Amino acid sequence: MAMFRRLYGRDGPGHPVAMLLTYAITGYAVWAIFQNAEPWTVLLWLGGAIVLHDFVFLPLYTAAYRLAWRVGGVDQDRRRRVIALQHLAVPFMVSLLLLLAALPLIFSLSPGIYRPTTGMTEEPYLERWLAMTGALFVLSGIAYAIRVRRAGRP
Amino acid sequence: MPKFYAWPPARSAADVLERGTYALIIGSSIFLVFTGLWNIAYWLPWRFGFVQAHFYAAFVFVGAFLGHVAIKLPVMRQAFRDRGVLRPPARGPRQHARPEPFDEDSSAPLEPDAPTISRRGLIGVVGGASVLMGALWAGQSVGGWTRSTALFAPRGQDPEFPLSQGFQVNQTAEKAKITQDLVGDDWRLEVVGRERLRFSREELLAMPQHTEDIPIQCVEGWVTWQTWTGVRLRDLAIMAGVPDPDELEVKSVQPAGAFDDVVLRGSRVTDPQALLALKVNDEALSLDHGYPARIIVPASLGVHQTKWVGRLTWRPA
């Protein structure tokens, strides 16, 4: 048992059995995807999603956050700055989420298929996204002003 | 820094296997959400069959997720035993929160920054964003006045291009290359069984008419309930001399587009609600909704509710 632990890294049969089952199911599914596609195009998507998130977006929003934190110099009121950052971060996040979810519509990436299929155009989506983003920041700003005012009251 | 990037990346074979499942969970979930959303907006920036890849990627996600839960059960049990099930891990205001001590088996970060948002705040933001997303998409399926709230859904509405008869079209007559010659006064429905019959639209309208509320359910994630009026498919089967049909082949007159030839089986076609619809909401079908006649059967997919029907072929059991 001790030798198994040294070689494998966990006690007992539960972990390796669960891993075996997991890789059996997912391995079969990945193999099935490859039957209908050039493997590299699928790997590009599955792997690309991880790489893009962890090595592009994560450093970007970490850097943006650190930068936003430094801008404005050293403030003695840390609590107020945390709240200000939240009121910027939340509308930014929601706006980005809407952008990603409706990306092809917002940037009219498929007018040749969308219009004849649905009988509508993708034109309104960019305007709607800009308006929604503006509204989110304005609402968040109003909420911030109310919070600061309340906190400032004795 | 997320724990995923702890260094060295693996200390044992078990770690390597576990980290592999994280990659599968993350990769497949992002893949499923975004290829799905972009596919229904008709942007296809990939070179593989979407349907198969999406179907099997769901197996990758569910398999890897279940495996992850299974191997973390002991950790979860230990955590609940130590801290109670509903007791919050931290009390009091955020600025008094202290980072969880680093531990091999927990998800505590390696080098935590000072706390910025409470757990309640985080759940509120994620939950609020989800509710907002739902509200901005759901109107395309709920219909009615809520259609104007579906601001980001691909089947909402475009004020400059009103929807034909007030509900969405999956494939316009233009895309299917339907011309006036194909569906004008010369159009005849051919019904083939033991007999071979031909009916004009007027003759079909003179038959007993039935009205049913039946949804069109699209694989792209929307539903629209409408009130359809037309001839029961069962009645047409009897007229064609096949009172006990096994299957019905529906052929559209459309020269272009997918699903112009569909086979429906069993109770889908013998059910009294199964119609060859001629009207919707008491109006003649518009060209985009399948004039002169379309199939409307219960418990079926939108792509099988064939429009611009030209021929029905009944095959006995």
Phi, psi of B162 (to 5 degrees): -60, 145
Yes or no, beta carbons of A41 and B27 under 8 Å apart: no
Q: Are residues A56 and A98 in the same domain?
A: yes
Last residue of a domain, one of B99, B116, B133: B116
Quick one: CA dihedral A67, A73, A76, A80, positive or negative? Answer: negative
Asked which of B94, B116, B138 is the last residue of a domain, the reply is B116
Does A7 share its domain with A50?
no
Q: How is residue B197 annotated by DSSP?
A: E
A132 near B CB under 8 A = yes
Residues A27 and A57 in one domain: no
Q: Is residue B228 part of a domain?
A: yes
A12 and A64 share one domain: no
Query: In the prediction, which pLDDT does B188 show?
Result: 96
Burial of A153 (0-12, 13-18, 19+ CB in 10 A): exposed
Nearest to B41 among A10, A25, A102 (CB): A102
Residue-wise pLDDT tens digits, B151-188: 999 988 888 888 899 899 989 999 999 998 899 999 99
Q: Do both B299 and B189 map to the same domain? A: yes
**Neighboring chain B residues of A33 at a CB cutoff of 8 Å:** 48, 52-53, 56-57
| Mutant choice from A6, A117, A128 vs B, greatest count of B C-beta within 10 A | A117
**A45 and A28 both lie in a single domain:** no
A141 and A65 within one domain: yes
Confidence of residue A10 (pLDDT cuts 50, 70, 90): confident
- Interface residue A130 vs chain B (CB under 8 A): no
| Per-residue pLDDT at A53 exceeds 90 | no
Domain count, chain A: 2
In this structure, are A1 and A65 located in the same domain?
A: no
pLDDT in tens, B250-293: 999 999 888 889 999 988 999 999 999 999 999 999 999 999 99
b/e A87-96 (16+ beta carbons within 10 angstroms → b)? bbbbbbebbe
Which domain CATH number covers B309? 3.90.420.10
Which amino acid is present at A86? Q
Residue B172 at interface with chain A, using a CB cutoff of 8 Å: yes
- Choice between B115 and B317, residue whose per-residue pLDDT is larger: B317
d(CA B116, CA B158): 41
Based on the fold, state whether residues A55 and A79 are members of the same structural domain. Answer: yes
The rounded mean pLDDT for chain B is 89
Best residue in A21, A22, A128, A133 for a mutation probing chain B (most B CBs within 10 Å): A22
Q: Do A109 and A78 belong to one domain?
A: yes
Nearest-CB residue to B27 (from A16, A46, A104): A46
Number of domains comprising chain B:
2
Residue B140 within a domain: no
User: So what's the pLDDT on residue B159?
Assistant: 82
Statement to judge: residues A124 and A135 lie in one domain: yes
Closest of A99, A88, A104 to residue A132, by C-alpha: A99
Closest Cα partner for B44 from A136, A37, A1, A58? A37
* Chain B (138-167) residues lying within 8 Å, Cβ to Cβ, of chain A: 151-152, 154-155, 157-161, 163-164
Same domain, B185 and B312: yes
Measured in whole angstroms, how far is the alpha carbon of residue A3 from the centre of its chain?
42
Give the SS3 label for residue B227: strand
Same domain, A25 and A86: no
What average pLDDT does the segment A21-39 reach? 90
- Is B26 part of a structural domain of the chain? yes
Q: Which of A105, A106, A139 to mutate to test the interface with B (most CBs of B within 10 A)?
A: A105
Range of the structural domain that residue B84 is part of = 3-116
CA atoms of A68 and B282, how far apart (whole Å): 60
Look at residues B116, B134, B150 and tell me which one is the last residue of a structural domain.
B116
C-alpha B286/C-alpha B284 separation (Å) is 6
pLDDT digits (tens, 9 = 90+) for A99-126: 999 999 999 998 889 999 998 899 999 9
Question: Do A93 and A133 sit in the same domain of this protein?
Answer: yes
Q: What is the mean pLDDT of residues A128-140?
A: 97
Q: Which residues 174-193 in chain B show a CB within 8 A of chain A?
A: 174-175
Contact status of A11 with chain B (Cβ, < 8 Å): no
Tell me the average pLDDT across B228-254. 95
pLDDT in tens, B115-155: 777 778 889 999 999 999 999 999 999 988 898 899 999 98
Give the tokens for residue B105: 């088996």
B292 and B202 in a common domain: yes
Q: Nearest by CB to B43, which of A16, A37, A109?
A: A109
Confidence of residue B4 (pLDDT cuts 50, 70, 90): low
Phi/psi of residue B309, each to 5°?
Answer: -65, 135
Q: Is residue B133 part of a domain?
A: no
- Give the model confidence (pLDDT) of B98-114 as tens digits: 667 766 666 676 677 77
Q: Is residue B98 located within the same domain as residue B205? A: no
B98 domain residue, yes or no: yes
CB-nearest to B24 from A26, A113, A116 is A26
Range of the domain at A47: 38-152
Task: Please check the confidence at residue B47 and state whether its pLDDT lies above 60.
Answer: yes
| Residue of chain A minimizing CA distance to B153 | A102
Distance of alpha carbon B127 from alpha carbon B226, whole angstroms: 33
Question: B170 in a domain, yes or no?
Answer: no
- Same domain? For B190 and B311 the reply is yes
Residues B207 and B310 in one domain: yes
Q: Which of A105, A104, A100 is nearest to A122 (CA)?
A: A105
Per-residue confidence band for B56, with pLDDT thresholds at 50, 70 and 90: very high
CB–CB contact A19 B38 (8 Å): no
* Orientation angle between helical segments B50-83 and B13-39, nearest 10 degrees: 130
Domain membership of residue B137 (yes or no) is no
